[in-house]
Amino acid sequence: MGIFNKRSVADLGEKKKDMPEGLWIKCPSCGESLYEQALAKNLRVCSHCQHHFTLSAEERIALVADEGSFEEIDAKLDSVNPLGFKDYLGKVRAYQAKTGLTEAVITGRAKIDGQPVLLAIMDCAVIVFSASGGARMHEGILSLMQMAKTSGALARHSEAKLPYVSVLTHPTTGGVTASFATLGDIILAEPKCMIGFAGPRVVKETTHSDLPPGFQTAEFMMEHGLVDTIVPRAEMRSTLSRLLLYLLPKQAAA
């Protein structure tokens, strides 16, 4: 339950501390001004254009897991500086202080409508919500190695005939897209989220060609077979619960 004692990312930052209650937020997609409290009530989805704002891990867990069921694992997992990269640990510590988190990934056991899951770790049904710029180049080969290690872990999970649902949220890019995010037995995505390996500018410059409309959006990826279905945030919990009913052995759900 460690995560619930941590400060929320949304509460941090000098500007946010000084903001009065009843703040208006401009939707980056449609430009509409949204009342912050109303936005929170609507699961941080724009009521005008359905833009899905980012969620903290804590908000994400509250969205899908049964209340009080989440138990964090590896809460004290910490980064090292294997390349002796200049100022790297200082930057890591600064971000840890800013976010109140030791790591970018929160993992733990939880239940969805009473059904046991591990969020972002293996053992029974696994659900990973991805949102990443990719592997940490500052950690060199140890970072890239995790692409193979997470893929290997998912292969063993699959050999154990256990399901893995991958949920892609904005943005899912780089080494995360090239490994565990796209290895789900079922791959879901939030509406309009960006999914890709290299960014659109790099792809355009490398291929010397114009990109098709909607390139690297969840909708484009579903049309081209990478994503199974797009799930609006308000339907995420019920969709996961229904999938678990289909995928989990009956005794596991007891």
Applying CB under 5 A, which residues contact Zn ion?
Answer: 27, 29-30, 32, 46, 48-49, 51
Structure tokens at 53: 């704002």
Q: How far apart are CA 80 and CA 98, in angstroms?
A: 18
Phi/psi at 53 (nearest 5 deg)?
-70, 160
Distance in Å, CB of 51 to Zn ion, minimum: 4
CB 218, min distance to Zn ion, A: 16
Name the minimum Å distance from CB 47 to Zn ion.
Answer: 8
Q: Of the two residues 32 and 113, which places its CB atom closer to Zn ion in the complex?
A: 32
- For strand 164-172 and strand 125-132, is the pairing parallel, antiparallel, or unpaired? parallel
**In the complex, least distance from residue 30 CB atom to Zn ion, rounded to whole angstroms:** 3
Characterize 62-98 residue by residue with b for buried, 16 or more Cβ atoms within 10 angstroms of its Cβ, and e for exposed: ebbbeeebbebeebeeebebeeeeeebeeebeeeeee
Residue closer to Zn ion (CB basis): 46 or 131? 46
Q: Following CA atoms 217, 221, 226, 229 in sequence, which dihedral angle do they give, to the nearest 10 degrees?
A: 90
180 in Cβ contact with 152 (< 8 Å): no
Nearer to Zn ion, 29 or 69 (CB): 29
Q: How far apart are CA 27 and CA 8, in angstroms?
A: 21
Rounded to a whole number of angstroms, the minimum distance from the CB of residue 143 to Zn ion is 35
Minimum CB distance to Zn ion smaller for 52 or for 237: 52
Nearest residue (CB) to Zn ion, 54 versus 151: 54
